[in-house]
Amino acid sequence: MSNSFKLRAKAQKGVVTVKALINHPMETGLRKDSKTGKAIPAHYIQQLTAKSGARSVLDAVWGGAVSTNPYLSFSYNGVSGDSLTLAWADNLGNSDTTTVSIS
Amino acid sequence: MFIWRSAGLFMIGQVVNYHYEEIIMQRRTLLKSTLAASAAGIAASAGLLMPGPVLALYPGAAFEAKEDATALSAAVGAGSYEFSDKIEIRAPDIAENGAVVPVSVSSSLPDVESISLLAQANATPLVASFNLHGSQAFISTRIKMGKTGNVLAVVKSGGRLYAAEREVKVTIGGCGG
């Protein structure tokens, strides 16, 4: 599950704005396969964390109602040159993490 | 007679064999899962698997709750909130596709600890909850809405809950639609 991220972090006037796109099916478990009529099993990101260096800047818990290929944007006080690490874990035990340097 | 007996024995042999294989299979899966679990345990304890907080407890009950208040108390510790005009929700008035509804929440309240998003018309209203750790009181994401209803943003500020809502009309449902 590597490279599930598109991540950008930009610092402007001491505020870092993070924009992230994650490739993930985000199945609620309620949808049915249109051909077989069987329920498609739930598969969604449950937890997401963002760290700048060792400092935790955001953590989130998600349900299946976050859209497929989730988009997330947030901002925090920081400077360019620092690193930003984003990580997620889903209900099937998959996880991924990526680090970018803040521009 | 002899043929019958041997056939019978053969069949018994088959059954025994089958059971034996089943037991072996069970043992294998058992071994596999215990191995995997212990490997995950070791990785987690060594901090290799994930940066810490991802392994924190997931409030599953909050996402299964069918009432706003139940979901909120499981997610952020309290179920009651008061409306505040210091929270702004940006969302379309009409969402053409309920599976992708862009929602942004920002707030001018002081010391915002968390922002939670609820789609009140969904069967399980809680969509996501964000702990901010002193970050700016701003979150933007995309959510699924089964049908027309209010988007409720609940902001925890100074240990109390404040909320704002905004109606989004959905023309095509996003949850099993």
Across B134-160, average pLDDT: 93
pLDDT in tens, B46-77: 444 444 444 567 898 899 999 999 999 999 98
Nearest residue in A to B62, CA atom:
A63
- The whole-number pLDDT of residue B1 equals 46
Task: Report the percentage of chain B scoring pLDDT > 90.
Answer: 51
- Using pLDDT thresholds of 50, 70 and 90, give the confidence band for residue A34: confident
Across B103-128, average pLDDT: 93
Amino acid at B103: V
- The whole-number pLDDT of residue B21 equals 53
Determine the Cα–Cα distance for residues B118 and A46; give it in Å rounded to an integer. 16
B70 close to A (CB below 8 A): no
- The whole-number pLDDT of residue B33 equals 52
Domain locations along chain A: 5-101
Phi and psi of A42, rounded to 5°?
Answer: -60, 135
Q: How many helices (H) and strands (E) does chain B have?
A: 3, 9
Mutate to test the interface with A, among B118, B135, B168 (most CBs of A within 10 A): B135
- Using pLDDT thresholds of 50, 70 and 90, give the confidence band for residue B166: very high
Say whether pLDDT at B91 is over 70: yes
Nearest by Cα to A74 from A6, A26, A16, A24: A16
- What is the sign of the dihedral through the CA atoms of B125, A24, A59 and A100? negative
Q: How many helices (H) and strands (E) does chain A have?
A: 0, 7
B17-56 residues touching A, CB cutoff 8 A: 40, 49-56
Least confident of B10-24, B55-69, B157-171: B10-24
State how far residue B168 is from chain A, nearest Cα, in angstroms. 15
Say whether pLDDT at A68 is over 60: yes
8 Å CB contact between A28 and B175: yes
Non-local (6+) Cβ contacts of A53 within 8 A are A82, A83
Single pTM value for the model? 0.75
Determine the Cα–Cα distance for residues B37 and B1; give it in Å rounded to an integer. 53
Nearest CB to B50; choose among A56, A71, A89:
A89
State how far residue B21 is from chain A, nearest Cα, in angstroms. 28
Residue A8 CB-density burial (10 A; 0-12 exposed, 13-18 middle, 19+ buried): middle
- The whole-number pLDDT of residue A37 equals 86
CATH number of A5-101: 2.60.40.10
**8 Å CB contact of B130 and A30:** no
Say whether pLDDT at A43 is over 80: yes
